Each structure stands twice: as structure tokens, then as C-alpha cells.
Chain A
Amino acid sequence: MKLYKSISSIALAAGLVTSISTSAFAAETIKVGILHSLSGTMAISETTLKDTMLMLIEDQNKKGGVLGKQLEAVVVDPASNWPLFAEKARGLIEKDGVDAIFGSWTSVSRKSVLPVIEELNSVFFYPVQYEGEESSKNVFYTGAAPNQQAIPAVDYLMNDLGIERWVLAGTDYVYPRTTNKILKAYLKSKGVSDSDIMVNYTPFGHSDWQTIVSDVKSFGSAGKKTAVVSTINGDANVPFYKELGNQGVSSSDIPVVAFSVGEEELSGLDADPLVGHLAAWNYFMSVDEDVNQEFIAKWKAFIKDDNRVTNDPMEAHYIGFNMWIKAVEKAGTTEANAVQDAIIGVTTPNLSGGVSAMMPNHHITKPVLIGEIQSDGQFETVWSTSGLVAGDAWSDFLPGSKDLVADWRGPLSCGNYNVVTAKCSGQNF
């Protein structure tokens, strides 16, 4: 096994690591790092985000750049290899001298980048929904925290669909495990008994769902309305939904609400068996707003493909990038400390017709939308929060973290301040 490991790391290091930097066209530019995997398992999701960033930067340059300078994208490929994320981030800051980094998808890659970003005091934007329980001085979380996705989705199922029995199904890693822990605590606080909750974990890329779907079916035939809350990761979803369809579990019997299935994932599969199943996001491509139509048109033109779709993490980058631009303009410099101070309270329009703001805990405000999958792979919004929801870094439903608050404004300036002991642990991740 050791041999295999070293072989794989040598091969990866030698064969796949390439760094491309676009040539400088102005005498002095502001450099922006893009740290998304372009090869390996995560390339499926992250390549799109790299293209989104390139589009946003190109667009900003057409508007005259920022602080009178052009922006320059520095793209590196961490190749879905978590330690390589840290190495590449270090290279971006030390060697290329970037002023901000937009990147990562998985939580583990973010955790790998964290110490580097904090040590070198840079600015990092993370665009994906995640499990929360973190607030760093240097990281800005533009994706959803659990209270901006999972909890509202469960509320919708409970109140609007009258769900009484819950299957929490997830892939076996940190995001589903933490989210399900929060959800379980939340459900119990609402009076759901233990026997009405079934928790199930499967390995990455699980493809044989027969037993689990059959279990869900018998769990759901106990006379109470049942739903599946799915934190199943990307790839494993296709065989899961196929099996549901084949075993005759329809969305009107047992609806599945997913937190990792978006337009991009749906474009890779035949959506017919999925019609009526749900997903909770902060943005859908189908949102009928002018600003969104404009974004979609721009994206299709940039990528030169009329069939490409937009999704939630792309919107997160859109918001994050615009916030960074505004903060830089407000601070008058790209220096990290100044930007970190200036960005708190900055507001920019999001793509669903509202205005998002950066909170002192480095999370943003977003609307929560619940959509039903349609046969064309798009979502029909069936429910949305009346206003925007502020991201909560520390969950109110976990015993260890309900006393913690994050506030990066002075004089507190702490990512995990304990209101009971009135202490800041000083550890940021």
C-alpha cells in the first residue's frame, strides 16, 4: 500500500501538476489566484468555477479593472490532491504574489489551505455549501452554512409536506456527518423520536444502492409520511436516483431533498426518474430575474456553449468576487488587513434579485430556495424564505458550538468567542 501511495504521488506530481499563468498585459496588474482542481476526481465540479472566475475577471477588466489597474488571473491545478492545495496556495501567495485567492470545493481541501492562508495573511474566498463550524480571519464563506440550506429544507418538509419520518443519507465524510449531526439535533428539538430517524452512510462513489433503497422503502411504509434528506456526494447520486426510479419510489411517495445536486450534476444524467425530487440551494438557474438572465447569457457567450448551465457555487463566486472588488475600492488598496476590515458590511446584488451582505462572521446573507427537479434538468422553485438568511458559523444545535460566536470586527476580532466563558480560544479553524 505504501508503495502504491508513493507511486501515485510521484505520478501525480510529475504528470499532472502544471501551472498556467496568463501573460501580463499591463505594466502593473493586480493578481488574483484561482485554486480549483482541473484534473482528478473533483475536476468535474471545479473546472466550471475556474471558468466562472476567468469570465468575471475578464468582465471586470472591460470595466476598467480595479483601482485603475487591470486584474490578472493566475490559474493553478491542485489536481484533487488535498496536500497539494496547501502547496499551490503557498506558491500563489509567495511566488506569484496574488492578492486574493478564489478556490476549493471540498472541506478537506479548504482545511488544508487554511494554515497557509493564515500564516501568510491573505484573503481566500470559498464558494461551496459546507458544514459550518469554522470562521477564519482570512477566509470568506460565500457558500451556504447549514442554517442557510439544510435547516430551512427540513422546515419546509416538516411544515409544508407534513413529513414525520426522516432518512438522513449521506456519503461518509465530514460534511454529511456534521450536517446530519446538526439535523438530528434539530429534529429532536422539534419532537421527532429516535425511531423515526434513520441515518445511513455510504462510501464515496457508491454505485450499488439496491439494499439501501429497499430499506428506505420499508422504512417509509410505516404509515407516516417519509422523506430522505440526502447529503450524498456528486457522483453517487446518479445510481441512487436511478435505483429509486427502478424500484418505483416516486417523489410523491418519498421525496428526496438533496444538498449536493444542482443543475450541473443534472446535466449529466437523464432527469426523468428524478422529477419531483427536491433540492435546497440559494440560487437556481431558473430564477426569473433580469440580473440572472444577463449572467446566464454572459456565461453561455463566454463558454461558447449554448447548453451549459449555471449553478449555486458559480453565483457564490459572483457574489464573492464583486464583494472583493467593492472592498478593495473602499479600502483603496489590496493589502490583506485593509481588505478584511473593509469587506465587512459590503453589499452586492446576488442573482436571485436581492442584495447580499458580508457579515462580521465572514459568512454572507442569502435567500434559501427549495426547488423541484423538472424533466429538463432545471428546478421549479416551490418555496423560498421571505427574506435573506445570515450564515451562522457555529451551529445553534450542537452542544459544543452553540455558545460560540464569530465576529471579526474590533475589539472582539475573534472567530470563536465563547459567550459563556467570555474567552476567545484563538484557534481559527
Chain B
Amino acid sequence: MFKYFLYPLLLVIGLSTSLQSFAELDFQVTLNQLSDKNFAKKIKTVEAIILSKNPKTKFVLESLSKGKVYYIKSNKKVVLALKNDKKYVATDLVSDEILGIFTKRELKKIGINNKIRKKIKTSLASIDLTDSNSLTRLKAVKAIYKDINKDIINTIKPLMVSEDDADVKEAMSVAISIFNLNSRDVEERINAIQNLKQSLEPIVKVRLIRLKDNDNDAQVRLDAERALQDINSKISQFKTLETLFFGISFGSVLILAAIGLAITFGVMGVINMAHGELIMLGAYTTYVIQLLMPNYIGLSIFVAIPAAFIVSGLVGVLIERGIIRHLHGRPLETLLATFGVSLVLQQVVRTIFSPLNRSVETPEWMSGALEINSILSLTWNRLYIIIFCLIVFAALVMVLKKTSLGLQVRAVSQDRSMARAMGVRSNWVDAMTFGLGSGIAGIAGVALSQLTNVGPNLGQAYIIDSFMVVVFGGVGNLWGTLIGGFGLGIINKFMEPWVGAVLAKVLILIFIILFIQKRPSGLFPRKGRSAETN
């Protein structure tokens, strides 16, 4: 009798304790289906993972989109694997238990395609809607603008009541208004249009155009048209600002590349065709520094700046002492010799580092963009490079104006024999000046390594532009280089949308040719006696 009573009781106890682990087991079984090669099946599995609402769902989805989820080839178990010294440490996704160390061949990564990536993104966004961080919530709301549907609106509405962050609340009301643009009620549509008049979201514009063309109510069509006019005029304002930013940023790159040349070519009068290769050396120095300190990528940039200055500066001094010194006053021969040097440097780099491009990592704080609104966003790397360019420029002006080296450089460039008569060691000054210009080129290389390829041909791409800026700005004038660089950058960027990148470049060159005809010494010509001696 007692026995019969105990049996179901035991069963109930047993069930409740195993229920938890049973759910986990079930989750692992679902996860294991990810090992299927077929993308259509994979996307079904991802849907099942999302629907399971397991506490681990968010973690699994994030790891999956970051490519950290693998399966073990022998038993098809899906696990989290982290690379550690050529081997992979596998962890159980459900229990966080470490399963052991595997080689690359024993594991297979679970590849995902864009459909899955998108699915993960939207579902993560809806999970993030209840995140404790208000910035995460804001991002999550903005992420769902594009695929708003009834379900999402129904989740947002109750959240909006309890939301205390003003920005998030605003974004949520925008989302609801976007949804209401498709409402059946005319009044609601008109209200939604009123609410969205200030919004610059691309999706708003698309929806408004649709209303303007297709709505069956005349008032709605009119309102939509008015709102569109407002939005369009705002967009074009921000677009102009954006183009200006692009111009300034392009200009700052030109200035960085040219400013070293402004010293060697402008102050010393040496046509240095190897200037581009000195920039390249700076970029490779950044690469080497990153190799030396792989765990401190953010810091490596700051170490790379002085290192690149020293490397390129030393090579510059070597070129000056070894070649240019012997060709003083013979510009054609200098041109030929430095062109030869540039080829030699390229081939040396090709031999040491291979002809392939090297990958220089961008630190976290330099990637992404400062989003002002959905039309205007300023990319961080460009912003930093503009600032960096101005700092380098200021530092260089200070060196030339305030230090005794600067004084001697100016003296030698103005009148060599008089300076020597006054006891200036002109040879030494030449070497230092050339080293300074080359070092600055190296620093430019650090900046360029964040924007473009680090390869043996890096320098060639910038040598023409550098000469262009220096000649346009006026030889021997740092301020001319600054104004010339920004000017050419901005003109170029304003022309590009009209005529395309190729023609813009051609037109700039034609413009400079004509300009030089009119004013042979550039924007800021040298004045006084030194103008004739050089």
C-alpha cells in the first residue's frame, strides 16, 4: 500500500529535479543541429534557439555572430572555442565547463551567412530593449526601425511607459510613429507625419515618399510632401557639412604627406623622389611595432610615432650624407639619384617583408564613427588624423621658429655662404634638416597605415600629391602647405560627387597647371632677396 503511494511521489520529485537539466539537455540538442551544413536548416535552428528563451540565448547568438562557435568533428557537439596559441580551448556553451584543448583539424567552425546574421541582429536588438544600459537600449531601438512590425510595437509600447531616458523614449516614439504611417486611420497618419518632420532616418524618407505618391487622402499627401521638403533641405545642409569634413580630412592626409617634403624640397631645395618611400618606412615601422607588442594595439600607435620618426629620420640622414650632399646644386642629378633610391628602398622592403601587403590593426578607439545624426557621421580615424595633422604642423612651426636648429635652418636656406661666415655648420644643418623632413614623413606613414594598405607601393601613391601641395602652396612656406593642402582637399571633395573621382583628380591637376602659369611661386611666394637666390 505504502509502496504504491511512494511511487508517484518519487516520480514527481525526480521529474522536478531533472526538469532543469532536461531543459539544458534539450537546449544542447538544439545547439548541436547547428552543425548541419545546410543554411536553410541552420536558420531554423537559430530560430529555435531564439524561441527557446534560454538564459544562454543571448550569449550563444553573440558568440555565433562573432564566429566563436565550433563543433567537434568526432561527436558533432556544438561548443564555444577560443583560439589560444594555435590550439583551441573548447567550452560547453550551456554549462561553461571546459571540455579540453583541440587542434584546428578536430574542430569545424559554424559558418553563418547574412540571413542568419540579420536574424541574430534583430533578435539581439529585441533582447537589448530591456538592457540596463540606456545607450544599449537606444541602439536597440534604432536597429529595429527598418523592420518594424506589430509585434515589435506591442513590445515597445509598455516599455515606453516605464522608460526614463529621454533619448530612448524619443527613439521609441519615432518607432511608433513610423509604424503609424501605415495606419488605417487618416488622423493617426497625419499625426505621425507631424511627429516625424524632424527625423532624418532614411526609412522615414522612404515611407513619406510612398505616402506622397500613393496615399488616397489628399491631406496626407500634402502633409507628406511638406515634411519631405523640410527633411530634404535639412539633409542637403548636412550633406554639405559632410563633404566639407571629407575635404578637410583628405586635406589633412595631403598635408601630412607633404609637410616633410615642404622642409626638404621647400627649405633645402632638394627634389627628393624617395620621399614617398620614407612615408612607407614609417608605415612598416608601425607594423613592426604592432608585431612586437601584439597585446597593446592601442598603445602601439603611440610607440610607433617616435619610432617611425627615428627610423625614417635616420634613413633620411643616410641618404643626405651618402648621396645628396655630393650632388649639391645639381637638381637634375639629385632627382635621378633619389628616384633610384626610391626603387632600391621598395625592393628592400619587398625582400624583407615580402611583396604582399601587411596588415596593420586599427585600435578600437580609432574605428567606428561619431554619429551626429543618421545623415552626418564623422569617422573617428579621420577625426584623429585631422587633429594629429594639426599637432604635427604646430610642432614643426615651433621647431623652425623657436629652436636654435630652426634658426640655423632658416639662416642656411636664406643665404648659405653668409650663414657659414657667421659660424653655422651648414653641412650639419643640411643633414639635420633632411633628417627632420624625413622623420616627419615617417610620422605621416604611421597615420597612413591606419587608412590604406601597408605595402611596398604605399609611397608611390603619395609622392605626386605631395609635390602638388608643396608647389601649390608656395615653395619654402609651411603655412602655404597647410592652406594648399586643405584647399586642394576641399576642392577635390566638392568636385567628386559631380564629376567622379577620376575626373576630379584630372581637373585638380589642370587647375594647378593653370594656377602655376599665373603665379609661378604658388599661393604664398617668398618675398625679398631670398626669393631670387633660390
Where the two chains meet, the residues of A that have a C-beta atom closer than 8 Å to any C-beta of B are: 7-8, 11, 15-16, 38-39, 41, 43-44, 47, 161, 172, 200-203, 205-208, 210-212, 214-215, 218, 221-223, 235, 238-239, 242-243, 245-248, 251-252, 255, 264-265, 267-270, 273, 275-276, 372, 374-376, 380, 382
Contacts and interface: CB of A to CB of B under 8 A. Distances in A.
6 contacts: A8-B339, A39-B347, A39-B350, A211-B243, A251-B114, A376-B67
A222 B206 contact: yes
B455 interface: yes
Contacts of A215: 497
Contacts of A248: 368-369, 371, 377
In the A-B complex, the 3 residue pairs with the closest CB atoms: A221-B202, A268-B357, A380-B111
A5 to B, nearest CB: 12
A208 B245 CA distance: 13
Nearest to B110: A380
A268 B356 contact: yes
**Which of B207, B209, B210, B356 has the most C-beta atoms of chain A within 10 angstroms of its own C-beta?**
B356
B343 A380 contact: no
B326 interface: no
Interface in B212-266: 239, 242-243, 246, 249-250, 253
Interface stretch (B6-14, B379-387, B429-437): B379-387
Interface string B364-376: 0001110100000
A269 B359 contact: yes
A246 B367 contact: yes
B451 interface: yes
Contacts of B109: 374, 376
A221 B206 contact: yes
B457 interface: yes
Contact of A44 (B114, B455, B461): B455
B323 to A, nearest CB: 15
Contacts of B112: 380
**Which of A16, A207, A245, A275 has the most C-beta atoms of chain B within 10 angstroms of its own C-beta?**
A207
B206 A270 contact: no
A8 B340 CA distance: 9
**Which of B355, B457, B502 has the most C-beta atoms of chain A within 10 angstroms of its own C-beta?**
B355
Nearest to A375: B67
A3 B301 CA distance: 40
A201 B340 contact: no
B111 A211 contact: no
A172 B503 CA distance: 11
A245 B451 CA distance: 12
Given A211-B497, A214-B242, A268 B455 contact: yes
Contact of A238 (B355, B453, B456): B453
Contact of A380 (B113, B249, B253, B367): B113
A376 B110 CA distance: 13
B501 A212 contact: yes
A205 B206 contact: no
B205 interface: yes
B58 interface: no
A226 to B, nearest CB: 11
Contacts of A265: 357
Contacts of B500: 200-201
B369 A11 contact: no
Nearest to A224: B206
B361 interface: yes
A235 B457 contact: yes
A47 B355 contact: yes
Interface string B114-132: 1001100100000000000
A273 B367 CA distance: 10
B453 A211 contact: no
B496 interface: yes
Given A218-B202, A374-B111, 14 more contacts: A207-B451, A212-B501, A221-B202, A221-B203, A223-B210, A235-B457, A239-B451, A239-B453, A242-B381, A264-B356, A267-B356, A372-B111, A372-B114, A375-B67
A238 B452 contact: yes
B66 interface: yes
Contact of A207 (B206, B210, B371, B461): B461
Nearest to A203: B502
B252 to A, nearest CB: 11
Contact of A255 (B114, B379, B456): B114
B197 interface: no
B343 A275 contact: no
